[in-house]
């Protein structure tokens, strides 16, 4: 629980840093430096443990995951430069909903009535945040949703990779793929960052890397049902950062919509975990007791 609370603080801090940096550094360039410095952080670990630490037989799938994640990240960084932190975080909670929709539409996954109801409620929460027809849908909101959809597709690949690959292997190949892709996208927008911006970019990479490690460690040490509700604290951190650093006062409807989205996504995640446990074959007792 401590790990997941710390990870939400790290992720929210990273979002605040991205929003703050976007005024002087183009979002694609922020994405590049986040990837590049993240890779520099991981390389000493690989050097210490040797090439066996990143051995894989699924390089192509790592490449697809990394490319999708890179596109999602670049779009998300653009969105953070346009949308208040609380609103972006509320829409970010929709990722499990999008993953479920993709599984239904493209993978033929059978979904029962309760998960469909949760999906419908979650979509209603998204509509409360965006409020189409009542307010003009902003470009930043659309970018948030596009990024979340791509990230949801990426999550399906992460699930598959998780069958055989450790979190460290996945993390290393992700930033290894990120770096050249984000470099190519950043070149047309390139500006040389100031020393203070470089320092913040290093902090961004470090905070993001630590957050990913803590998040994986949380799920390794505890049941999903115990820690997933604590992810909602990301909205609290985001509201705090928005108020303190950007004078962003969150709208009540945004917070209400975010709570609805999170509740629906949490239910779907719990339900999937329950069904997976029920489908798992019982383990045989070989102790002879």
Delimit the domains of the chain by residue range.
2-277
Whether the Cβ atoms of residue 271 and residue 114 lie closer than 8 Å to each other = yes
The Cα-based distances of 76 to 14, 180, 224 in angstroms read 12, 18, 26
The Cα-based distances of 96 to 87, 164, 177 in angstroms read 17, 22, 24
Q: pLDDT band at 135, cuts 50/70/90?
A: low
Q: Which of 31-35, 37-41, 282-286 has the lowest mean pLDDT?
A: 282-286
Q: How far apart are CA 280 and CA 91, in angstroms?
A: 33
Strand runs labelled E in the chain: none
Top-confidence residue, 275 or 48: 48
In percent, the amount of the chain with pLDDT more than 70 equals 87
Q: Residue 223: pLDDT above 70? A: no
Number of separate helices (H) and strands (E) present in the chain: 12, 0
pTM of the model: 0.82
In percent, the amount of the chain with pLDDT more than 90 equals 31
Average pLDDT over residues 62-80: 92
Q: pLDDT band at 71, cuts 50/70/90?
A: very high
* Greatest Cα-to-Cα distance within the chain, rounded to the nearest angstrom: 68
Average pLDDT over residues 10-24: 93
pLDDT at 185: 94
Whether the Cβ atoms of residue 234 and residue 89 lie closer than 8 Å to each other = yes
Q: How far apart are CA 155 and CA 169, in angstroms?
A: 16
Whether the Cβ atoms of residue 259 and residue 128 lie closer than 8 Å to each other = no
pLDDT at 136: 53
Cα-Cα-Cα-Cα dihedral sign, residues 34, 144, 256, 152: negative
pLDDT at 132: 62
Nearest to 154 by CA among 64, 76, 22, 251: 64
Condensed to tens digits (0 to 9), the pLDDT of residues 110-129 reads 667 777 888 888 888 888 88
Whether the Cβ atoms of residue 204 and residue 17 lie closer than 8 Å to each other = yes
Q: pLDDT band at 139, cuts 50/70/90?
A: confident
The string of DSSP codes covering 117-164 is HHHHHHHHHHHHHH-BTTBPPPHHHHHHHHHHHHHHHHHHHHHHHTTT
The Cα-based distances of 87 to 25, 46, 113, 165, 252 in angstroms read 22, 38, 29, 34, 11
pLDDT at 52: 84
Condensed to tens digits (0 to 9), the pLDDT of residues 144-160 reads 999 999 988 887 887 78
Q: Residue 284: pLDDT above 60? A: no
pLDDT at 231: 78
Average pLDDT, the chain: 84
Q: Residue 210: pLDDT above 90? A: no
Q: How far apart are CA 280 and CA 181, in angstroms?
A: 39
Q: How far apart are CA 216 and CA 100, in angstroms?
A: 21
Q: How far is CA 33 from the centre of its chain?
A: 18
pLDDT at 14: 93
Q: Residue 283: pLDDT above 60? A: no
Nearest to 209 by CA among 90, 36, 91, 49: 36
Q: How far apart are CA 213 and CA 105, in angstroms?
A: 32
Bridge partners of 132? 135
């Amino acid at each position: 629980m401590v790990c997941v609370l710390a990870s939400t603080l790290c992720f929210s801090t990273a979002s605040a840093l991205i929003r703050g940096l976007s005024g002087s550094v183009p979002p694609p360039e922020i994405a590049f430096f986040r990837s590049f410095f993240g890779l520099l952080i991981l390389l000493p670990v690989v050097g210490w443990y040797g090439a066996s630490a990143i051995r894989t037989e699924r390089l192509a799938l790592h490449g697809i995951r990394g490319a999708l994640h890179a596109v999602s990240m670049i779009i998300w960084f653009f969105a953070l430069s346009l949308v208040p932190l609380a609103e972006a975080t509320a829409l970010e909670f929709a990722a499990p909903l999008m993953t479920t929709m993709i599984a239904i539409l493209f993978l033929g996954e059978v979904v029962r009535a309760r998960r469909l109801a949760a999906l419908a409620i979650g979509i209603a929460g998204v509509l409360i945040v965006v409020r189409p027809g009542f307010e003009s849908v902003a470009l930043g909101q659309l970018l948030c949703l596009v990024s979340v959809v791509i990230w949801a597709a990426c999550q399906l690949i992460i699930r598959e990779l998780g069958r055989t690959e450790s979190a460290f292997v996945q993390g290393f190949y992700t930033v290894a793929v990120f770096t050249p892709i984000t470099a190519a996208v950043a070149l047309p927008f390139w500006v040389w960052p100031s020393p203070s911006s470089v320092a913040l970019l290093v902090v961004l990479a470090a905070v993001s890397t630590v957050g990913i490690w803590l998040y994986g460690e949380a799920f390794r040490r505890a049941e999903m049902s115990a820690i997933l509700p604590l992810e909602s604290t990301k909205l609290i951190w985001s509201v705090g950062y928005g108020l303190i650093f950007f004078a962003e006062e969150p709208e009540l409807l945004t917070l209400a919509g975010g709570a609805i989205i999170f509740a629906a996504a949490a239910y779907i995640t719990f339900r999937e975990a329950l069904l997976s446990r029920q489908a798992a074959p019982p383990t045989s007792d070989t102790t002879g007791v």
